[in-house]
Amino acid sequence: MAEIASQKETEAMLERMLTRLALTDDSKLEAVLGKLLPYAISSLSNSIPSTRQKVMEMLTHINRRVKDQPAIHLPVLDLWKLYQSADSPMVKNFSIVYIEMAFDRLHMEQEKINFAPELLNGLSKLPGQHQDILLRIVAQAMECHSNQIDEAVAAKYRKINVAEECHLLLGFCLQTMLYQPPSSNTEGMTCSAGLSIVQTRRITGKYPLKGEKLSGRKLGILNVIESMNLAPERVYPLYITASIDSQESVTRKGEELLKRKAASANLEDNALINHLFSLFQGTASEERIPAEERITPASPALQARLMSVFSHSVQAANLFPATLRCIFHCIYGNGTNSRLKYAGMEFTVWVFKHASMEQLKLMGPVILSGILKFLDGQVAAESDVYSRELRAFSYQAIGQLAQRAPQLFRGNVEMAVRLFQALKEVDPSSRSTVQEAVNSLATAYKDCNELVSKGLEALLLENSQVVESEARFCAVRWATTLYGLDHCPSRFICMLGAADTKLDIREMALEGLFPQKQVDRTVNQSSQSVPDNYPPLKEILDYISKYQPQVLEVSEIGERKPLFPPKMYVAMIRFLQICYEAECHQASLSARGDSPQHADSVILLCLLLEHAMAYEGSVELHATASKGLLNVASWHPQMIASRYAERLPWLRQFLGHIDSDTRESISRLLGITCSALSTSSASVLIQELCSTFKVLNKGRFEDSHGAICATGYVVSQCMTGMPSVGRELLETSVMVLVDTIKSQTLPLAGAAAEALGHVGLRGRLTDFGQDYQFHNSCQPAEMEPLTKGIHEVKPSMEEVSGNLSNDGFVSSLIERMKELLGSNDIKVVQKVVIAFGHICHGDTSLRLMDMALDALFSLSRSKVEDVLFSAGEALAFVWGGVPVTADEILKSGYTSLSTSSNYLTGEIAPHRFIDSTVVETEVVRNDRAKAREKITKKLFDDLLYSNRKEERCTGSVWLLSLTTYCGQHPNIQELLPAIQEAFSHLLAEQNELTQEMASRGMSIVYDLGNSHTKSELVQALVSTLTGTAKRKQVVKLTEDSEVFEEGSIGERPGGEKLSTYKELCSLATDMGQPDLIYKFMDLANYQASLNYKRGAAFGFSKIAKQAGDALKPHLHTLVPKLVRYQYDPDKNIREAMENIWRSLMADPKKTIDEFFDDIIVDLLTQSGSRLWRSRESSCLALSDLLQGRKFDQVGKYLERVWITAFRAMDDIKESVRNAGDSLCRAATSLSLRLCDTSLTERSDASAAMAIVLPFMLSNGIMSKVATVQKVSINLVMKFAKAAGDAIRPHLPELVFCMLESLSSLEDQRLNYAELHAESVGIQKEKFENLRIAVAKDSPMWETLDLCLKHVDPPTLELLVPRLVQLVRSGVGLNTRVGVARFISFLVQNVGSDIKPFINSLVKVLFPAVEREKSSAAKKAFAAACGGLLKYAGSAQAQKMIEDSIALYTSVGDKGTQVASAILLKTFSQQAADVVKGYHTIVLPVVFMART
């Protein structure tokens, strides 16, 4: 019954409400609805139909009344509360409907703004339709934030911390951002790209969004989401979607947020990449989803933007099959465009590069087939830029795939053919990309099967000769990449490439033929180091002859065209020579004779070389081919001699070649060939050669020169007896050569001398002059042409006979050769000099050697280095025991001892000892010994210790030559101590050549010496480098002795040079200071010591590698010096010491750590040296040495380091000051790190602080050097920042020093300005305030502020006495004001902890206030007293106030009264609570003072 009664009451209530609603005027309807509407909706929870019917009638009436009156507001807050509290679904449904209606009627933006964030609370628990309505309401509210968002509102949004609700909000915002208004001609319901029809309805609600409303909503969303400070990965999809919006304002905002807020997004986040893929693809292709719920793919613009993101994400490359669908959509999808295809290909390259192998195995074949299909559908000559770039990307993708999955290509050659063909067909602008792809594909065919390899060989050979340079480049690259040196087809391709017009192809081809070697290396040089991985000679020759069958034909005289291009031919010959020498070395090592197969290869090689001598070949080709033939002849002299004995005319045609090297090689070949000739043939050959260059014949120079060279080699061969030629013919030939020396031009004379030297290697030339008469009756018929020329030159037979007697012949020969030594043609002089050595090598007669040595010694003052080296080589031949035989000189490509030993270009070592080829009798041995004695005397008595630098240079070159070439000779072994001393002496030379020779000589002496010699040498060099050595021999000075290099110390006032001893003495006399000459000589000795160290360093660097354990006892002394010398200002010394360091120290870091103490002690000591270069190098070395050191290593040296740095910063020499600055920076960095408790152990930091800080306070800041002061102050300030609590023990001294520095480091000009301030109308008080303000901005005051943070009660016990002392004795305005202010700040920081120290502080502060004349200082001290009053006890406070009053009431001057007033004012301001209790005594005084 009660329920029925209640129901009736409810219905009655609703009836009355409906009646009232009907009778209510529209103007009052809003107020009525505010109460009726929530109640009516809440009544829907009643299940009685009649009740619900009444409510529906009321709601219908309300809808009808308010429909056309948007100004009528509905109670939105009450409805929201009803919605939140209701349990009935019907109530909730009607509430949400009217909430949406009520929100639209809110006209105040602030109401919408404040209400919207509340709707998101608990959103994830609501039904989907309700979520959509509320999210639309929130999005509508966000329109109000299109310009900016208030921080208070942003804070409300940030409170939404439930993940599901954030996800819902971000999803709705993203869909809103994807929404684009439909076009005007669109019929029916459509959806935007990236959305479904359902999602579009969700976004728009009842009315579509358009124009400014839509852009305002999107901008508002971006501003709100930005203010929520969400993770970049969560907002990245929203921002990237906004960045491609159709509205420019939205696009601009999206781009900005993408760069500013989402740039740090992790593109490897799996959730983010999956989200982006879903956004890209949509679900339109999934038929299981209802049509209206299928999401369309993103717009092409967004897809292109997303593809650029995928191309920067490794995770995106590994999400199969999404990756695959993306690529195929871009290339083949409906609606794709050039931009998407481009992005798809770019992503394909990225996938092939970064996808895991598991993913690549799945995707690779599918994507590859798609790419090939795409390429097949393209036109090669497509002119569209995008099309060309797409093709390029396609090939690039193939190249990437080939590197990652080579198994897809290795089985056949089709892909290689396709890419090489594309390389020839594509547009030139795209060839570089295709070329890169082709090069990448090469690795896929590594270790392919034989069938594929054959196909590749044919492909590469074909493309190595096409017009397109890119194809040729790739062909050579493939040949060098896929195959080794032993692969003949690929090496032939490299030979083809060696003649290419493109430099890069030529270089790569030559590298393929001669890896890690100079491409211009000669055959002889190559033979010194023959690798074992070259192909067999026959195999490569067979391949070449198969390509060019004419190689097998015999070369005829006058052949014009070479079979191959000259540059290709040159590379081919050099490569074949290496293969040939490799086989020859292998055969000699196996101790077996040449096989028939090898002999056939040699013949075929000769045929190829002969064809290279064709008339139209280049000079380089002819020279290379002729040297090649000579090289073959040196290994197989009999075979070559037999071959060319039948082809003399072919060989002789090249004796007149325009190239001297070719003529020389052919001449040697002719000499070798002569051994296989018959006596008659050899005789005819000799007379024909001699007739070519005889005196009266004026033919071509080249013909004469070639004939002369050939004569020397042929005659020297005949002197061996093979073939046996008459002595008369040989003697006449020699006479013709002798006559040529005198009568022909210099080049021919030099060649004749050289030819005589070659003859002299085989026997005694002096034997030819004995009993020789020119009588016609005695002449054989074959000599008539030769003697005829000589008769015409010589006026009388008697004169000729006299000249050609034994002694006369020798004298004539030597004199004629000696005349040539004065020639300006260096090559001629060299040939003559070497000829002297060769002649004396075969003829040991004393007179001949004496004359030859005199001639060679006449060159002792020559300044031409090449001549000196040649003379040294000649002296080695005179000495005997040179490491070559006559056969090696005459029957190989030998040029000189120096070139065959790397004398000047590399590491040298003493040669093997070869006894003389001549059987030495007792007389011969005595003659040779006398010659050696003469050489020794000339070197050690005249040259090595001469007062002329050019003679010392000559001596060094000659002594090194003897030591190098004859080092194993017994006489050289006996002279080793003297040689060592001489080289040691020459180390101090200024001349670089002399010094270099001496240093090399030291290395040779070390190799030659026994253990005792080696030990002495190491000790001597160590002594030199460490500065303890004494020079044993001193060069005697004459008036012409050069003390300084010309121009090194300037000139006289008149412009005359200053270099010799005489000129220095003259200058000292002219200046009236004779003692100045001693200073000059001291300077010269100092320069000599530097040179000595530099030279010793060069020698030591070579010995160090070999000395090994012998150096260990000296390392403690040597290492510190080496470290310092590596920073020497002299570049030469620096480089020399660096060479030693690299040679000696296998692990430099370990060595420095091991000898750290020795090094740093030496550097600290030398930093105080009187020599500026020692100070500079020490500072630079220290600055590097200190890097990264720990306290236990440098702690004991830290103070000395700073002393050194500060002293160097004030050095008299600028370079030393710069080095000091460098050391100061290093020491600063080290000290800060050691004192920083976050980087160093607390105990070590405290210990470092105890060393550095007191030093800075006492020596740094108080220094008189401005730069030192500045560095010290900055460092102290940094200590205060970084040291933390470790600085507390030093606070008293630090504070005291900083306060004193406020005045002591102030610009002294301010004091002067203050004294005269009043005279220019500036008030003194204002000027004082200005000075105080400047001091307050100084680093000292900043440091004081930092110190205040570390003060604690224990520190106060030490700090306060220092402050008291400074208040009493401190001078300077800034110091006194500073200490007062510091006390004030200190009191504020420590608070009540200051109580025990108040009495002591007040005792000095009160008198300071009273007697201080400066008003600023007076106020500062008074402020300090005021701060203390706050924490003073009652008795102390009473005494302070009474004393302040007494200052006014007692008899005193005006200054005392002012002090009282300032104190009382400060007390009342800073300690008002304390002063309040003393008003009875304070106020009367104040009142009286006012009146």
Listed in sequence order, the residues at least 6 apart from 357 whose beta carbon sits closer than 8 Å to its beta carbon are 404, 405
Query: 248-264: per-residue pLDDT in tens?
Result: 888 898 888 888 888 88
At residue 775, does pLDDT exceed 50? no
Task: Please answer whether residues 266 and 272 qualify as being in contact, where contact means their C-beta atoms are separated by less than 8 angstroms.
Answer: yes
How many Å is the maximal CA-CA distance in the chain?
179
pLDDT digits (tens, 9 = 90+) for 1064-1107: 455 445 445 455 444 444 444 444 444 544 444 444 445 555 55
Judged by DSSP in three states, 108 sits in coil
| Amino acid occupying residue 1044 | F
- What are the residues whose beta carbons fall under 8 Å from the beta carbon of 631, sequence distance 6 or more? 523, 524, 527, 577, 580, 581, 892, 893
The string over 807-824, giving b where at least 16 C-beta atoms fall within 10 Å of a residue's C-beta and e elsewhere, is: eebbbbbbebbbebbeee
Residue 774, pLDDT above cutoff 50 = no
Confidence of residue 508 (pLDDT cuts 50, 70, 90): very high
Hey, what are 121's tokens? 């609370």
Q: What is the mean pLDDT of residues 128-155?
A: 82
Task: Return the closest-CA partner of residue 347 out of 407, 382, 305.
Answer: 305
As given in the structure block, the two tokens for residue 967 are 């080092």
**Percentages helix, strand, coil for the chain, rounded to the nearest 5?**
75, 0, 25
* Other beta carbons less than 10 A from residue 60's beta carbon: 10
Share of the chain above pLDDT 90, in %: 14
Sign of CA dihedral 421, 424, 427, 430: positive
529 has a pLDDT exceeding 60: no
Query: Cα(1281)–Cα(1273) distance, rounded to whole angstroms?
Result: 13
The whole-angstrom separation of Cα 164 and Cα 724 is: 113
Higher pLDDT, 1457 or 492: 492
Cα 1247 → chain centroid: 39
What's the pLDDT score for residue 1021? 60
What mean pLDDT is predicted for residues 1386-1409?
A: 81
At residue 713, the pLDDT reads 92
Most confident range, picked from 244-248, 759-763, 931-935, 1057-1061 = 931-935
CA-CA distances (angstroms) from residue 416 to 360, 376, 1486? 21, 16, 108
Q: What average pLDDT does the segment 798-825 reach?
A: 67
CB 838 within 8 A of CB 757: yes
pLDDT at position 662 is 93
Q: Are 190 and 112 in contact (CB under 8 A)?
A: no
Tell me the two tokens of residue 1128: 């020497």
pLDDT at 801: 33
- What is the per-residue pLDDT across 632-690, written as a single tens digit (0 to 9) for each? 999 989 999 999 998 899 999 999 999 999 999 999 999 999 999 999 999 999 988 88
Express each pLDDT in 898-916 by its tens digit: 776 655 444 444 444 454 4
pLDDT at 133: 83
> Smallest Cα–Cα separation from 964: which of 900, 888, 909?
909
CA 351 – CA 927 distance, rounded (Å) = 85
**Ranges 15-29, 340-354, 622-636, 1457-1471: which has the least confidence:** 15-29
Taking only the tens place, the pLDDT of each residue in 416-449 is: 888 888 888 887 877 888 888 888 888 888 878 8
> What own/partner pairs with CB < 8 Å and gap ≥ 24 does 933-936 have?
934/850, 934/853, 935/853, 935/875, 935/878, 935/879, 935/962, 936/971, 936/975
* Cα distance between residue 609 and residue 622, in whole Å: 9
Give tens-digit pLDDT for 1291-1327.
888 788 878 777 776 655 555 555 555 555 555 566 6
1396 cis-preceded (ω within 30 degrees of 0): no
pTM for this predicted structure: 0.65
Half-sphere exposure of 1173 (CA within 13 A, CB side): 13
Q: Taking 50 as the threshold, does the pLDDT of residue 1035 lie above it?
A: no
Three-class DSSP category at 408: helix
pLDDT in tens, 970-1016: 888 888 888 888 887 787 677 878 878 887 887 788 778 777 766 77
Predicted local confidence at residue 612, as pLDDT: 92
Average pLDDT across the chain, whole number: 78
Task: Give residues with Cβ within 8 angstroms of 910, minimum separation 6.
Answer: 963, 964, 967, 968, 1004, 1007, 1008
pLDDT for 1490 equals: 66
The letter for the amino acid at 526 is S
State the Cα angle at 1249 between 1248 and 1250, rounded to 5°: 90
Residue 370 amino acid letter: G
| Best CA proximity match to 1237, nearest among 1228, 1226, 1248, 1229 | 1248
Q: Residue 1077: what pLDDT?
A: 44
Q: What mean pLDDT comes out for the span 25-37?
A: 73
Look at residue 769 in the predicted model and tell me its pLDDT: 57
Summarised one tens digit per residue, pLDDT across range 1270-1285 is 888 788 777 777 766 7
Top pLDDT among 389 and 1053 is at 389
Residue 835, SS3 per DSSP: helix
pLDDT one-digit tens code per residue, 454-468: 999 999 999 999 988
Q: Output the pLDDT for position 658.
A: 92
* Span 921-980, pLDDT tens digits: 777 788 888 999 999 999 999 998 888 888 999 999 999 999 988 888 888 888 888 888
pLDDT at 274 > cutoff 50: yes
Which has the higher per-residue pLDDT, 532 or 435? 435
Tell how far CA 1305 is from the center of its chain.
Answer: 44
**Lowest mean per-residue pLDDT among 622-631, 773-782, 1058-1067:** 773-782
The whole-number average pLDDT for the span 236-247 is 89
Q: What are 1456-1472's pLDDT values in tens digits?
A: 777 777 777 877 777 77
How many residues are there in the chain? 1491
Query: Bridge-partner residues for 1060, per DSSP?
Result: 1042
Which one-letter DSSP state was computed for residue 183?
P
Distances (CA, A) of 159 to 154, 234, 428: 9, 17, 61
Condensed to tens digits (0 to 9), the pLDDT of residues 1205-1241 reads 889 888 888 999 999 999 998 988 888 888 887 788 8
1283-1314 residues labelled b (16+ CB within 10 A) or e (exposed): bbebbbbbbbbbbbbbbbbbbbbbeeebeeeb
Enumerate the β-bridge partners of residue 1057: 1051
- The predicted model gives 235-242 an average pLDDT of 90
Q: How far is CA 176 from CA 201, 238, 245, 438, in A?
A: 11, 10, 11, 47
Residues 6+ apart with CB under 8 A from 887: none
Q: Kindly state the tokens that stand for 129.
A: 């339709």
Position 630 scores a pLDDT of 92
> Cis peptide leading into 321, omega within 30 of 0?
yes
Residues contacting residue 964 through CB under 8 Å, at least 6 positions apart: 876, 901, 903, 908, 910, 911, 1004
If you write DSSP's letter for every residue of 337-366 in order, what string do you get? -HHHHHHHHHHHHHHHHHS-HHHHHHHHHH
Does residue 793 carry a pLDDT above 60? no
- For residue 1186, what are the CA distances in angstroms to 1145, 1202, 1220, 1231, 1271? 20, 12, 14, 10, 18
